[in-house]
Amino acid sequence: MLQGSFDYCFSPDDYKLPPNVIARRWLPQQSLLKHPKVLLYFGHGGINGLHEAVHFRKPIVGLPVWADGEDNVAHLQRKGVAVMLKKGDNADTIYNAIIRVRDDPRYTYITIRTKGLTL
């Protein structure tokens, strides 16, 4: 079992980022999700983040990490609001999933039209 405390694995100051990218140790996820320029949610498949994405009607790209993530994302994928990636997928696969969810209007349409979607 993990003992003690830990911090994030990176510091935003460790990277040279383009001017249109913001990196912070913490950002208010709900505030980001409700912003109209946010087109999709990319997450690890945890129930809280998925509930928030569904609440704010954002299609999902999920990369399950923990025990429940695969079932959670698979359920939403069957509903048509998510694409599931797998650990070990390469950068091209991840990029293509993001582009597919961003550009295919079916994901956004189903997400917006689905009321009361539950996990």
Q: Where are the domains of the chain?
A: 28-113
- CA–CA gap between residue 20 and residue 82 (Å, rounded): 26
pLDDT bracket for residue 21 (50, 70, 90)? confident
Question: pLDDT at residue 65 above 50?
Answer: yes
Q: Is 50 within 8 Å of 74 (Cβ atoms)?
A: no
| Cβ atoms of 47 and 72 closer than 8 Å | yes
CATH superfamily of 28-113: Glycogen Phosphorylase B; (3.40.50.2000)
Kindly report, residue by residue over 66-111, the tens digit of the pLDDT: 889 999 999 999 999 999 999 999 999 999 999 999 999 999 899 8
Side chain identity at residue 103, one-letter code = D
pTM of the predicted protein model: 0.81
